[in-house]
Amino acid sequence: MARPTSYFLTIALLAAMALPSSEAADSLPPLKDGSSPQTLDEVWAGYDPTVEPIEAEICKEWQEDGTVLRAVRYCIGTFKGQKSWMGAIYGFPKDGNDLPALVQIHGGGGRASKSVCVANAKRGYATISLNWRADQRYLNENDLPKSAQTDWGAVEGRQIAESRGIEPNNDKRYDPVPSGRNGGYFLRTLAARRALTFLQQQVEVDGDRLGVDGHSMGGVITLQTAAMDHRVKAAAPSCAPPIDLEGTLIARTYAPSAYAQKIDCPVLFMSPSNDFHGHVEDMEWIMDRIPNQEFRIARSEHFNHKHNDSCLAAKELWFDALLKNNYQYPTRPEIAVDLKTDDGRPRVRITPNASQPIDHVDVYFTRDAALSSYNGSKSRFWQSAKPGINGTDYVASIGLFDLSDPLWVFANVHYKLDDRILTKASGTMTSTTRMLMIDAKQMQAAGIKADGRTTAVIEDFDDDWQKEWYVSGSSYQSFRLNDRRVPIPKHGKLELTVAGDTAAVRVSVADYAIGEYSAVLNADNGVVSIYPFDLKHTKNGSALMNWTDLPNPRLTLTFSRGKLPNYRSLVWKKVPVADFLADRPFQLGEAPKENGKTKLLLKQADKIVGRFETDPTTLKVNEDIIKTAYKRGLHVHSHSEVTYFLKDTFSTFESTLVPCYQASVTFEVHGDGKLLFESERIGGKSQPVEMKVDVAGVQKLKLIVTEGGNGWGGDWVLWANPLLTPAP
């Protein structure tokens, strides 16, 4: 139960009087024999988050919308003889008492959230929202003094280079040897455990009913806090965590995968199907290994790093069920796939818990297991299989185009909701099954049959078509262009047929690695015809030359004005090669000239892979070595590829190769797939390199920058003053 405020303030004062902060004992005990901890238990050995005084300070107090809000600081601990402090917002309903309470933890780009505290207070919770990144916006938005800010002191818990990894490679490291106690995630988890202590000592809080809620990096901290602190009665990690299975010291003592195997409290995994941070396959690895198997899953189909309202409702009901005991949360629905079927198609069987009324059940599957990179996982195409009801089960049959890749399948059971108080209104809450991952060889051995017929129809807009689209207002987004049954023509156009009064439609096609191409196009007699070069890059203005230039395209249709149309069809139409090339713009034809030579700009590129900046003057160079201020050029990242269509009209290409101050890169020039030029490794202390190469007869020029040996693909460079000399 809660302790009186006077109790912990008195203890804090006595502690402060007894021991000056400069001589305070450290919160962490010395390492055993001075050696690196070899297990997670050794990392945390001897630490108790409840022993030291919390030393809470109220920097500001006010009320909003029936919520008492306090900007507070509490003592995280003492490290290397210096205290660390956490700034946070603490909120609770006015006149509230005996309240359940939550620790809320923001992600890598966030800060402490007043709005979360207010929303939770309306639902009867006290909340402390941590500002672990020491974000300046926290002070600005809440009109707080500098003294309210987080101060990590002699260690580093923010998301910066000094907090990454566990090596003793800077003066902010706690241990002088490689140690799980050196990294930022350890310190942030320790700070979250201290936040639980803060909550236990608030008079309005029931200290036996505590939960943790965090997103992205905050989701990692949530999982790790739940693993290490028995006071956590419910946790909801969102979009986390990535796992490390290498067996190294960092994997055994610091990575989230090590913590996951110690979780013994109820957990709701908030796991979108296309999340770049917490991949769905990583979530399955964790679920196989956590000791407490009474976990649940809420998966937003097609979403990356965010959730739909039905899954957000699931999270709030999760805490209500476990911390308020006022909702009967359904047990996790069961899923099975039968590969021995009469028609040779995998048959999915869903057995949901019937304790709550079911609205509907959705089955989703993908063949995109290979898309496991940062950008790839965001681009997976999840297809829908409509289930029928068979007794108390829901059964769906899956038709497969081929048997070359694994089959991943899960189901969402949507339960009807009554008029409960939710932060975002929702008529349903989502309970997700485990995701079954079936190997291609397993399907082949079982006699599963493939149907390899192709079609030009991308979408027929028949019943339930929206299951494979993300719909928001008048925007419709999907990865249906990646459907294996619908091959993308190299020379072709999209045709969108609509019925109704449609003035215009914004068509956007994007790839996470390349960017977004977009245009507003008019319907002609109910048909919107879309050539790739109709679409322009939203950042640099270049046209999309070929549909196949986008490896994993995402299509978005947005109707900006007029009545929302009745969709009829979306199809590919092949175009004769001669007609396609005749309509295709020659982007260098109208490029600016300099002394008769053509100047290359990013907006003239036919394709850009990798990050880039439109302002070349922002490149940070080693000014002791590079004295020239380069004002024009292609400012790109490592790794990057910039492609230009030359149309066999130029004789030479020349440029000055300029690295950023910390670079280690190699520049390459390719013509029609052949390497024409390759630089030596160019570092941050290198002089700019002048280069010139013959491009006579070249149709396609590709400029490539690769990582040059420093192990970090984060260098910026400049192809300064890039010029093409016309052929004689």
Whether domain 334-446 has CATH 3.40.1370.10 = no
Q: What is the pLDDT of residues 468-478, one digit of tens each?
A: 999 877 889 99
Pairing between β-strand 205-215 and β-strand 99-105 as defined by DSSP bridges: parallel
Contacts of 515 (CB under 8 A, 6+ apart): 537, 538, 539, 540, 608
pLDDT band at 8 (very low <50, low <70, confident <90, very high): very low
Contacts of 246 (CB under 8 A, 6+ apart): none
Q: In what order do the strands lie in the sheet with 67-79?
A: 57-64, 67-79, 82-93, 126-130, 99-105, 205-215, 232-238, 268-270, 296-298
pLDDT number for residue 516: 96
What average pLDDT does the structure give for the chain? 93
Q: What is the pLDDT of residues 117-172, one digit of tens each?
A: 999 999 999 999 999 999 999 999 999 999 999 999 999 999 998 999 999 999 99
**pLDDT tops 90 at residue 242:** no
Q: What is the pLDDT of residues 277-296, one digit of tens each?
A: 999 999 999 999 999 999 99
Half-sphere exposure of 125 (CA within 13 A, CB side): 28
**pLDDT tops 50 at residue 518:** yes
| Beta bridge mates, 298 | 270
Looking at the domain 593-726, which fold is it? Jelly Rolls (2.60.120)
Considering only the C-alpha atoms of the chain, give the largest distance between any 2 of them, rounded to a whole number of Å.
89
pLDDT number for residue 20: 42
Pairing between β-strand 457-459 and β-strand 566-574 as defined by DSSP bridges: antiparallel
Residue bearing the bigger pLDDT, 689 or 622: 689
DSSP line for 670-728: EETTEEEEEPPPEETTSPPEEEEEE-TT-SEEEEEEEE-SSS----EEEEEEEEEEEP-
pLDDT band at 559 (very low <50, low <70, confident <90, very high): confident
The sign of the torsion formed by the CA atoms of 371, 165, 256, 308 equals negative
Residue with tokens 């923010």: 158
Mean pLDDT of all residues in 622-636: 91
Mean pLDDT of all residues in 581-603: 90
Q: What is the pLDDT of residues 45-80, one digit of tens each?
A: 999 999 999 999 999 999 999 999 999 999 999 999
If you count them, how many residues does the chain have? 728
The sign of the torsion formed by the CA atoms of 231, 236, 239, 243 equals positive
> What's the CA gap between 351 and 335, in Å, rounded?
6
DSSP line for 560-573: EEESPPEEEEEEEE
Mean pLDDT of all residues in 676-702: 95
Tokens of 390: 């068979």
Looking at domain 5-265, its CATH class is alpha beta
Residue bearing the bigger pLDDT, 15 or 201: 201
Mean pLDDT of all residues in 555-567: 74
